[in-house]
Amino acid sequence: MTWMLHKPATHDCVTEYSTDGYHIHPRKVVIRPWFGRHHVFGVFMVPYVYRSGRTYSGVISVEGFLDELSPDSQPPVEHAEEMVAEPGHYLIRAYVPTRVAVWFLLKGQFGDLQMPCNWTFELKKRTSGVETSF
């Protein structure tokens, strides 16, 4: 089990972006699935201009795992996980279910989960009140 926890990533980070959205990687990744729920997350620094969930929609992706995350789904915080938001930004936590982290561990990809470059928060502008497709 120790070997699986410390196994390096299976591949280098290669990030592909679409041209119609804003993409950010987390400033910090916390992976502690053995503590239970809400202990696998990335901390993202998001510009306040993207705060409106009516104007922007978001998707968090981690190595094939996708989940919707509205930019205003959490109250804006200035401090999180020993980090301080830069001026004009706020911090949010994007959670990955513990079962997904355990699945990465069992597949031997725990190292991939720990690399911030494998996490992406994509924000897209909504059009006519309807989200754009992801």
Residue type, 59: V
Can you give the residue ranges of every domain in the chain? Answer: 44-126
Q: How many beta carbons lie within 10 A of that of residue 37, not counting itself?
A: 10
Sheet arrangement for strand 22-24: 22-24, 119-125, 56-62, 65-68
117, pLDDT greater than 80: yes
Give 67-116 pLDDT, tens digit per residue.
Answer: 998 888 888 888 888 889 999 999 999 999 988 888 888 888 888 888 89
Per-residue DSSP letters for 34-88?
GG-TT-EEEEEEEEGGG--TTTEEEEEEETTEEEE--TTSS--BSEETTEEPPTT
Q: Which residue has the higher pLDDT, 131 or 105?
A: 105
What's residue 43's pLDDT?
93
